[in-house]
Structure 1
Amino acid sequence: MNILLKSAKILDEDNKGLHKKVRDIWIKDGLIEKIGASVKPDSRTKIIELPNLHVSRGWMDSSVSFGEPGYEERETLANGVRVAALSGFTDILLNPNTNPVPDSSGDIIFLKKTAAGKGARVHPLGTLTRGAKGIDLAELFDMKNSGAVAFYDFKSPVTNSNLLKIALQYAQGFNGLVLSFPLDMSIAGRGSVNEGNISTKLGLGGVPALAEEIQISRDLFILDYAGGKLHIPTISTAAAVDLVASAKKKGLNVSCSVAMHNLFFTDDVLEEYDTNYKVMPPLRTSKDREALRKGLRSGVIDMVTTDHIPMDIEEKRIEFDRAAFGSLGLESAYGILNSIFGTEIAVQLLTKGRERFNIPTVTIKEGEPACLSLFNPEEDYVNSKENIKSISKNSMYLGKKIKGRAYGAVINDQIFTNPE
């Protein structure tokens, strides 16, 4: 399909000649054919005109979960990547929390083939260990050659210190990236929310900030000894930001991310006992939230993620302590970040992270493949279930006032837009 985006305001700070300029963008056979003040396309072109249309380089999310294979009732691959594209994302890293988990090259190939051409491009994460059981390393090299961009036992800490050391050393041979979830389970126990005044008041089991910070400290000591590349997903405390900052000053090859709900909410919202607010790591204090925002602005935190985790209603509409962790985030991502940081910083955050996972950088330039996110930064609305295209509806952002809406994305010769 050939596509013409009419009167689009381009936001791309790396391209000073186009940044903040209103232009027509003609996409022909998946490539950006022409960018100009007034472009006349051929008769086979679909013309897209949307109110206050803004365009940026394609957005990427480094932590997205669906369900297929094994949990299709939560989300299928086909609908999941379509939801991501409608939410403005052109690329997602797919978490290995399926059944079975992707711990072989065949599993990685299956995920890529099943999702191909249906929406956002999928970059699978393979498990770090066989069956994600934390005992033996999985087929890291073979998975890398099949398209896995990193290795991660989803939301499970690497409890065996020697195993993490070996993984970091082994992965250096093929420039592999190891992920380690920051949680010491012996300290976290069965906690489900941040340990503090709110957990005590509500009678809910607490997860101390210490559980995250001790694990990060251990992982950084191992990284310093073993070398290699380490990514710490979804940090949530002020001290965690300081630990990563110190490690980077020492020259360690470490990166980290933060979930956008830890930038938006604090544990005060738990007084509603709404299980959609039950996430891991948990929502923390206002002090932690401000430190995370500052860490993003300074570059200590490398990227923001939605940490999108669909869960069906049976796993959420039960007692808080028994409910599953996780919230949707893709559909609300742009509006939430725009509401916190404003348009330009929100776009910067959404376009960061590709280099860490060896995913090619995209540009807005004639002759380049089309990889564009479409959005309106000025639209105000209250988020409702009508905005959620996911099969599951477990969003903590329901009922929240949001400024800024994603229209969708252009990925090569396909366009995904709201309204469709």
Structure 2
Amino acid sequence: MTILIRQAKIVDPTSPFHLSQQDLLIEKGIFKQIGTVTASADQVIEAKGLCISPGWVDLFAHFCDPGLEYKETIETGIAAAAKGGFTEVMVLPNTKPVADGKSQVEYILQKAKHRVVTVYPLGAVTKQTEGKELAEMYDMKAAGAVAFTDGINPVQSAGLLLKALQYVRAFNGVILQIPDDKTIGMYGLMNEGIVSTQLGLPGKPVLAEEIQVARDIKLTRYAESQLHFTGVTTPKSIEYIKRGKEGGAGVSCSVTPAHLFFCDEDLRSYDTNLKLYPHLRTAAERDALKQAVLNGSVDCITSHHRPHEYDSKVCEFQEAKAGMIGLETCYGATVAALGTQLTPEKWVELISINPRKITGLQVPTIKEGAAANVTIFDPEATYVFQETDIRSKSRNSAFIGKELKGKAVAVINNNQIQIN
């Protein structure tokens, strides 16, 4: 199959064609010619006004397969990822059975192979993600796990996390962790503050996140290892991480589009789709988070795609499961939240370059002879997100009916193309 992309702006700092407008001819999944192309092709994409970049990566998505396929399957997860512009997705181990061994990692890789979106399993840090005993991380790494996390059950024991960090250092592994001390405000349903008091809902203080960030930075520095904080929500956490980096600790961090777009004020409607983990913070903290993304303190954006079936969300707020889908809305919500200050070059750094550097994946480049792993996107597209735009098996999105800006037009990867 040959694909001709006409007059796309190339956004790739590793490419000799960076920020230039070119024709790109792809033949059998390889860039055959970049420049002025006169050859014909099986498929032609008129891309004037569009950008093309190395394919986007999501570090933290839940595909629920095996065991929870009523929420999402690998097939529907891949469809959602491609719709959102992702060519590579790392999936959580919080399945049934938990991905805490070689066979579970192999199952995911086998089921997801030869697709337009490459799926990478994240192996569990502890057996059953229970935080009691280390899982066989070396075996999972050898089987194809790219990084390790207990996902929605962050490791609580300092001693166990230290052992895990020391263990993965032997093979340059990285651990992903939602920073949350679950013993603080364990019954909290939202951010502790004025809004939680007014709504009569038990709150969870930001202290639970910040104390965990401070602790884990010290553990990472001591172990001389690598830890990525995902779903960071407070300015103090960002400050700790920034100081940790400056002090030589191998730490990095990401935020979610939902935490840049919404705040705890939005929960006045008791919308269960906004019951997230970590919780939404105050408007002031949200705005500080935006600045942290723009000034480079935040390394990347993660979707925290967490599908839930109807019954887990259409219920009383305290009974609802936390999380919402996020792959399809990741780009549009981030641009809508950050505005024109988020340039396409900055976005590509946040979603394509940095995630691969953090997890040790090779960064694809747009040059002749290289494999085509790219996302074509329109940074100026403005639209209202509708339920019909959802490819996930679940519909739990608070972005339905919201005006977003920026849309993924197509993804090309593994000699396959999906046009949205």
Equivalent residue for 1:356, pick from 358, 371, 374: 358
Q: C-alpha deviations, 1:205-244, integer Å up to 9, x for none?
A: 2110001011111212222322211111211111101111
CA contact (8 A) 1:311 1:392 kept: yes
Alpha-carbon distance between aligned partners in 1 of 2:25 and 2:200, rounded to the nearest angstrom:
58
Amino acid at match of 2:377: F
Alpha-carbon distance between aligned partners in 2 of 1:39 and 1:367, rounded to the nearest angstrom:
18
Displacement of 1:366 in angstroms is 0.6
Alpha-carbon distance between aligned partners in 2 of 1:230 and 1:347, rounded to the nearest angstrom:
22
Displacement of 1:51 in angstroms is 6.7
Amino acid at match of 1:369: A
Q: C-alpha deviations, 1:85-113, integer Å up to 9, x for none?
A: 22211111111111111011111111011
Amino acid at match of 1:348: E
Equivalent residue for 1:289, pick from 261, 286, 290: 286
The residue correspondences of 1:17-416 to structure 2 (distance < 5 A) are 17-41=16-40, 45-49=42-46, 52-339=49-336, 340=338, 341-351=342-352, 352-416=354-418
CA contact (8 A) 2:382 2:406 kept: yes
CA contact (8 A) 1:238 1:287 kept: no
SS at match of 2:25: strand
TM-score, normalised via structure 1 length: 0.95
Amino acid at match of 1:7: Q
1:12 matched to 2:20: no
SS at match of 1:397: coil
Displacement of 1:245 in angstroms is 1.0
CA RMSD of aligned residues (A): 1.5
Amino acid at match of 2:68: Y
Amino acid at match of 1:317: V
Structure 1 unaligned blocks of 5 or more: none
Alpha-carbon distance between aligned partners in 2 of 1:213 and 1:101, rounded to the nearest angstrom:
28
Mark the CA change 1:87 to 1:179 in structure 2 (over 3 Å): closer, same or farther: closer
CA contact (8 A) 1:25 1:39 kept: no
Q: C-alpha deviations, 1:172-195, integer Å up to 9, x for none?
A: 111121223211111121112111
SS at match of 2:135: coil
Alpha-carbon distance between aligned partners in 2 of 1:259 and 1:13, rounded to the nearest angstrom:
24
Alpha-carbon distance between aligned partners in 2 of 1:348 and 1:233, rounded to the nearest angstrom:
16
Displacement of 1:342 in angstroms is 4.1
Q: Hey, which bits of structure 1, 4+ residues long, moved more than 6 A?
A: none
Q: Percent sequence identity over matched residues?
A: 40
Q: C-alpha deviations, 1:362-392, integer Å up to 9, x for none?
A: 1010100001101112221111101111110
Amino acid at match of 1:143: M
Q: C-alpha deviations, 1:30-89, integer Å up to 9, x for none?
A: 1011112233135xx222235743211111111111111111111110121122122211
Alpha-carbon distance between aligned partners in 2 of 1:268 and 1:342, rounded to the nearest angstrom:
28
CA contact (8 A) 1:82 1:118 kept: no
Structure 2 unaligned blocks of 5 or more: none
SS at match of 1:174: coil
SS at match of 1:187: coil
SS at match of 2:79: helix
Alpha-carbon distance between aligned partners in 1 of 2:218 and 2:254, rounded to the nearest angstrom:
19
Alpha-carbon distance between aligned partners in 2 of 1:133 and 1:48, rounded to the nearest angstrom:
48
CA contact (8 A) 1:152 1:178 kept: yes
Q: C-alpha deviations, 1:306-332, integer Å up to 9, x for none?
A: 111111111000111110011111111
Mark the CA change 1:51 to 1:329 in structure 2 (over 3 Å): closer, same or farther: farther
